[in-house]
Amino acid sequence: MSAMGLIVNPERVKIDVTPEQTFLEILKSEKKDRWKEWVAVKTKNGTTDLTRTVGEMGSGEYEIEWVHRDTTEAQSVYRHTMSHILAQAVTHIYGVKNVVLGIGPTIENGFYYDILIDNGAVQEEDLPKIEKEMERIIKENYPIRHFTLPKEEAIALMREKGQPYKVELIEHLPEGEPISFYEQGDFVDLCRGPHLSSTGIIRPFKLLSLAGAYWRGDEKNQMLQRIYGTAFPTNEALKDYLEFLEESKRRDHRRLGPQLGLFHIDTEIAAGMPFFLEKGVIALTELQTVWRKFHKEAGYIEVITPLVMHEKLWRQSGHWDHYRENMYFIEKDEQTYAVKPMNCPGHIIIYKSQARSYRELPWKMAEFGKVHRYERSGVLHGLFRVRSFTQDDAHIFMTEDDIVREATDLIHLIDRMYKVFGFEYRVDLSTRPENSMGSDELWELATESLKKALVETQVDYRINEGDGAFYGPKIDFHIKDCLGRTWQCATVQLDFQMPERFDMTYIGQDNQEHRPVMIHRTVFGSLERFMGILIEHYAGAFPSWLAPVQVSVLPIADRHNDYCQRVKETLANRGIRAQVDSRSKKINYKIRDAQLNKVPYMMVVGDKEVEEEKIALRTRNEKDLGAITLDSFIDVFEKEVKELADHSLFE
C-alpha cells in the first residue's frame, strides 16, 4: 500500500509510514532502546493503543503525539489495563464459569472492577492472593490485542462466555457500529480502550478494598462486589498514595463525627438524613453566626420559606420538567405537593408578594433553607452525599446594570469567608448545558457578564463547558483541604429565566415595568457537607471559635471540684464553652480523654492552683503552658475567638 505521512508532536518531525504499520513498530523505530518510556499515542481520533495500525486512524497526513509514561494520560492507560488484569486474576482463582463481570473503569487515582461470584464472594483476606495472581499475569507479559466484531457476533461471544452483563451493555450500543474487545492470554473483555501493548509493562500496583455496588447503579438490580485498586509509575509514588489513604482514613468524618458526638446516621430509619447531636448543633450554630455576620455587613436580609409547596410552583419554575426524578412528593386532599429541593421559588414568591421599585434593587435575600433531594442509596456517603441538607442559600434580584458589580462583590465575599478557614480554591466558569432553557442571546449576555466579573476581580479561572445550571451559567469555587483534595462548595449562578417564567417585575425610573435579573448563590453550599469537609480538614480539631467544647477543666482530686466549678462559671459568664471532668479518674486519663475529644484547652487544677487562684494550662497539642491566672487566659482566648483564628494564640 502507498506511504502515508505522520507529523510527530511536539517536535513536528515528519515521517513516512505505511498503513499496515502499527504505532508500536513506528515508536520502536523512532525511539530505539527508549521505546518503553511511551505507552500510547494521541491521534486525531483521540488517545489510542500503540498496537493499532496507522491505517485504522484514516488516510492522509495527520499529526500524532506519543504519550509518555509519566503523564496523567499514561496513568489512565496503565490503570485501565490493571482493571483487566484484576478481572483475569479473579477468573483464574474462582473459575471462569463462576465469575460474572460487570464493568472495570479507571477512576481518579485508581481503578475498580465489579464482579459477581456464583455461590461465593471475595473477602478482604483474599486480596493478597488476587494480587499474587495479578503479578503472575504481569510476569507472563501477555500481548494485548484489540479486535472488533459485528454486534450480533459480539452478543453471541459474550453469551458463550456466560457474561450476561456484557450482553446487556452490547445490546444498548448503537446499531451498525463494530463492538470493541481486548484479549490478553486466555482473557477477553468488552472495552473501548486504550490499553498497554502487553501486561508486562505494568508498574507498581496495590489492591485497596472491597465494596458493594448495584449493577448500573440501580438498587433494583443485583448487588455486585467492587474491588478497588491503584497503580503508580514508581514505588515511591505508590507509597506516598497509600500513606495519603491512611491519613484520609484517620480524618474520615464518618468515623470522627459520631466519635466526637457531632452527628448520627441511621440508615434504616432515615438513610441520607443525618441526626445532629448537641455538639454538632453547637458547631453548626457557630458557622451560621459567622455567616450571618458577613452577610449582614454585605446587606442581606434573612427569610424562612415553607418546606412543602404546591406542585404548580414547581411546574412554573421548571423543576417539574428538569428535576422531578430527584424530588419527594406528598398527596393530600387530592392535591400534589412537593418537598422543596431548592429554595429559589420560595424566594421568588416573597419578591412577588408586593410591587418592587428600582430603588429597592439590588435586593439580597438569604435563608438557611432545608431541602430534600432523592439520591440512590448506593451513592449516599456520610455528610458528603445526603438526601436532606441545609443550603446557605441567597438570591439577589437586580437590574442588568447591577450584574457585574454584584457578581464582583460576591467573589470578594466568598474569598473573605474562605480565608477564615485558610482555604485556597480553584474557580470554574460553567457554561450552557444541553438540557437548558432560554434564548442564545440571554445565555451569551449572562456568560459574558460573569466573565467580566472574574476579570475585574483578577481571579484565575477555567472554562467548564456544558456544566452550567439549566437556567444559567455559573461560577463554581472548589476549595482545597489540608490533604490537597478539592471540594466544590460556593457557586454564583446567573439567571434570566426564572424572572421570565414567574413574570417578575420592578418599576423603573421611567415608571414602567421592567424585568429583574436574578443571582442564585451559596458560600458553604450544603451546611452538612461543609461540616464534613471541616471535620476532615481539621481532623476533628476545630479552631477554638468553632469547637463545641472550648475548655475542659480537670480537677486532680475531688477536693478541687468546687474551685473547678467556679472556674467553669466564670468562663461561661464570658461566653466560653467549658466543662468540668469531675470523674474519679487519674489526671493523665482526663488529659488524654480531652485530647481525644479535640478540646482546644485543658485547665489542670490541683492544690497549688487552688491556693494561688490560677490554672495550669495545656493545649490539645500536648503543650504545657504552665500556671496562669484565669483572667490572663480569658484575655488571650477572647482575642483568639474574635479574630476567628485557626490556631492557638498561646502557641
Helix axes 527-537, 235-251, angle to 10 degrees: 120
Whether residue 1 is predicted with pLDDT greater than 70 in this model: the reply is: no
Q: Could you say which architecture CATH assigns to the domain 551-642?
A: 3-Layer(aba) Sandwich (3.40)
Q: Which residues pair with 338 in a beta bridge?
A: 309, 329
Q: What is the DSSP code string of 113-124?
A: EEEEETT----G
Select which of 52, 80, 395, 560 is catalytic.
395
Select which of 75, 184, 391, 550 is catalytic.
391
Select which of 344, 495, 560, 620 is catalytic.
344
Q: How many CA atoms lie within 13 A of 236 on its CB side?
A: 0
Whether residue 25 is predicted with pLDDT greater than 70 in this model: the reply is: yes
Q: What band does 492 get if pLDDT is binned at 50, 70 and 90?
A: very high
* Residues constituting the chain: 651
Q: 98-125 pLDDT, tens per residue?
A: 999 999 999 988 999 999 999 889 999 9
Whether residue 483 is predicted with pLDDT greater than 90 in this model: the reply is: no
Q: What band does 293 get if pLDDT is binned at 50, 70 and 90?
A: very high
Select which of 189, 392, 393, 495 is catalytic.
393
Question: Where is 411: in which H helix or E strand?
Answer: helix 403-420
Where exactly does CATH 3.30.930.10 map onto the chain? 267-537
Cα of 540 vs its chain's centroid, Å: 19
* 84 in catalytic set: no
Where exactly does CATH 3.30.980.10 map onto the chain? 73-250
Which CATH superfamily is 4-68 part of?
Beta-grasp domain (3.10.20.30)
When the pLDDT of each residue in the chain is averaged and rounded to a whole number, the result is 92
Residue 277: what pLDDT?
97
Question: Where is 649: in which H helix or E strand?
Answer: none
More confident residue, 413 or 34: 413
Residue 425: what pLDDT?
93
Whether residue 378 is predicted with pLDDT greater than 80 in this model: the reply is: no
CA neighbor of 78 nearest in space, from 49, 42, 100: 49
275 CB neighbour count, 10 Å cutoff: 11
CA neighbor of 137 nearest in space, from 202, 194, 61: 202
**One CATH from 3.30.930.10, 3.40.50.300, 3.40.50.2300, 3.40.50.10860 for 267-537:** 3.30.930.10
* 344 in catalytic set: yes
Q: What band does 17 get if pLDDT is binned at 50, 70 and 90?
A: confident
In the three-class reduction of DSSP (H, G, I as helix; E, B as strand; rest coil), residue 570 is classed as helix
Rounded distance, CA 286 to CA 293, Å? 11
Residue 233: what pLDDT?
81
- CA-CA-CA-CA dihedral for 128, 133, 134, 135, to nearest 10: 90
334: left (phi over 0), alpha (psi -120 to 50) or beta: left
CATH 3.30.980.10 is right for the domain spanning 73-250: yes
- Residue 446 has φ and ψ, to the nearest 5°, of -65, -45
Where exactly does CATH 3.40.50.800 map onto the chain? 551-642
Select which of 52, 373, 560, 598 is catalytic.
373
Residue 101: what pLDDT?
97
* 14 in catalytic set: no
In the three-class reduction of DSSP (H, G, I as helix; E, B as strand; rest coil), residue 74 is classed as helix
Whether residue 36 is predicted with pLDDT greater than 60 in this model: the reply is: yes
313: left (phi over 0), alpha (psi -120 to 50) or beta: alpha
264 neighbors 278 (Cβ within 8 angstroms): no
- 3-state helix/strand/coil string of 458-490: CCCCEEECCCCECCECEEEEEEECCCCCEEEEE
Strands 301-302 and 388-398 come out as unpaired
* 391 in catalytic set: yes
Select which of 520, 529, 537, 620 is catalytic.
520
Where exactly does CATH 3.10.20.30 map onto the chain? 4-68
Span of 203-207, 376-380, 574-578, 620-624 with lowest mean pLDDT: 376-380
C-alpha cell at 202: 505494568
- Residue 73 has φ and ψ, to the nearest 5°, of -60, -40
Rounded distance, CA 558 to CA 606, Å? 10
Gyration radius from the chain CA atoms = 30
Burial class (CB in 10 A: 0-12, 13-18, 19+), 583: exposed
Q: What band does 350 get if pLDDT is binned at 50, 70 and 90?
A: very high
Residue 60: what pLDDT?
63
Q: 515-568 pLDDT, tens per residue?
A: 999 999 999 999 999 999 999 999 999 999 999 999 999 999 999 999 999 999
Residue 562: what pLDDT?
95
Determine the residue type at 506: Y
* 608 in catalytic set: no
